[in-house]
Structure 1
Amino acid sequence: MKTKILILSFIFLSQFGYGQQIITDEIVVDTVQTDSINNFTLKDKSPIKASLYSAVLPGAGQLYNKKWWKAPIALGLVGTGIGFTAYYNGLQNKFRSAYIAELEGRQHEYSGILNAEQLAVYQDEYKRNRDYSMALTILAYVLNIVDATVDAHLFSIKNDPDFTWKPVIIQDQYTYQPVMGLNLNFKF
C-alpha cells in the first residue's frame, strides 16, 4: 500500500517538472512566443494542464498558474466543505439510528429525552444541512477548476503591455469627494 502511494505521488509530482526547452542537433529552441514589434516575451500556460491539476488536487492549478495566494483558498474551501459534510453526515446517522431504535422500542442515546417525532425532525435537519454542504463543496470544487482554467487562458493577456488597468482615486466633480475608479488603457 505504501509503495503504491509512493509511486502515485512520484508520478503526480513528476508532472510539474516538464521541460521548457527543445534541444535538436545542439540547437536550443525556447518554447516562448516573441512579439517582434515590442520585443517582449509571453509564456503560455496550458488551460488543460491547469484544469487537470485543479481536478486532482484543489489549488494545484493555481500553483501551476503562479497564483500562489489562491491555492490555499481553493484547498481550504473544498477541505472545509468536506469537513462540514462529514460532520453533518455523522449527526444525521446518529439521529437516524436513534429514531430507528425508538420505533423498535430499544434503548438509545436519547431515550426519555426525545420522542420519535423529535428525532425525525433532527434527522431531517441534519440531512438537509449535509446536502447543502455537499452542494456547496461541489460548487467550490468546480469553481476551483474554472478559476485555474480561466487564469491559464488569460495568462498571456495579463502580461501584455498594450492592455493595462489599475485602480485610481479621482475627485467627484459635483461633491469634490475622492472616489475609487478603474483606469483602463488599451493600445492599438
Structure 2
Amino acid sequence: MRIKTLFIGLMVSLSTLSSAQTVIDSTLVIKDSVKISEEVTMEKSPMRASLYSAILPGAGQLYNKKWLKAPIALGLVGTGTGFTIYYNNLYKRYRRAYIAVREGTPNEFTGILTPEQLAVIQDDFKRKRDYSVALTVLAYLLNVVDATVDAHLFTIRHDSEMSFKPTIIQGEMTPEPVFGLAFNLKF
C-alpha cells in the first residue's frame, strides 16, 4: 500500500513538473518568436541605403547606423572632387597659356616657359585630373556598395544564434596549438 501511494505521489509530482516544464518551454518559444519579430522589424532596406548613399555619400552609412563610416565616405568623395576641380583649373590655365604661346600672344608665362614645357605641364595636370576623377568615381561607387552590403548584413550581425569566436585548435601538421576562428550556429 505504501509503495502504491509512493508511486502515485511520484507520478503526480513528475506530471506536475513536466507540465511546469511545458509552460516554461512555451514561454521560451514565445520569447523566441518575439525575438524573431524584433529582428524582422530591425531589418534595413538595401535599396533605401544605396539610394541614400547615391544622393549624398555617407547618408546610407548613417541609415545603417555606421556612424564612423559616414564622414569617411563623405570625406573621400569630397576630397576627390576637390582635387578634380583643382587639377582641372590648373590644366585649363596651362592649356590657355600653351595656346597663347603657340599663337604668339603674350601671357603670364611668356619668356618663362617654352611651348614644349607648357605642353608637358598641361599633360601632367590633365593626367592628374583624370586619375582624380577615376578615384573619386571609385570612392563614390564603393560608398554605395558598402551601404548596400551593410544593409543586407544588418540582420545577420544582430543574430544571436550565429557567432564567430576566437579559439585554440590542434594543428594538422604539428601537435602545437594554433589560434583559429570558430563559427557557431545554434539551431
The 3 A distance-change label for structure 1 pair 112 and 44 is same
Match of 1:137 in 2: 136
The one-letter code of the counterpart of 2:87 is Y
Deviation at 1:83, TM superposition (A): 0.6
RMSD: 2.3
Superposed CA offset, 1:150-178 (max 9, x none): 11111111111111124x37599669798
Between the two structures, name the one with larger relative contact order (CA 8 Å, sep ≥ 6). Answer: 2
Which amino acid letter does the alignment assign opposite residue 131 of structure 1? D
Match of residue 82 from structure 1: 81
Between Structure 1 and Structure 2, which shows a larger proportion of strand residues?
A: 1
For 1:120, the equivalent position in structure 2 comes to 119
Corresponding residue number in structure 2 for 1:152: 151
Report the equivalent of 2:45. Answer: 46
Partners of 1:126 and 1:112 lie apart in 2 by 21
1:103-161, Cα deviation, whole Å (9 max, x unpaired):
01112222212111111111111101101110110111111111111111111111111
- TM-score w.r.t. structure 2 length? 0.73
Shift of 1:184: 2.3
Could you tell me which amino acid in structure 1 is paired with residue 182 of structure 2? Answer: N
More helix by share: 2
Aligned length: 152
Greater Rg over alpha carbons, structure? 2
Percent of paired sites with the same residue:
60
| CA distance in structure 2 between the aligned counterparts of 1:177 and 1:134, rounded to whole angstroms | 49
Q: Please, which runs of 5 or more residues in structure 2 have no aligned partner? A: 1-28
Alignment TM-score, normalising by the size of structure 1? 0.73
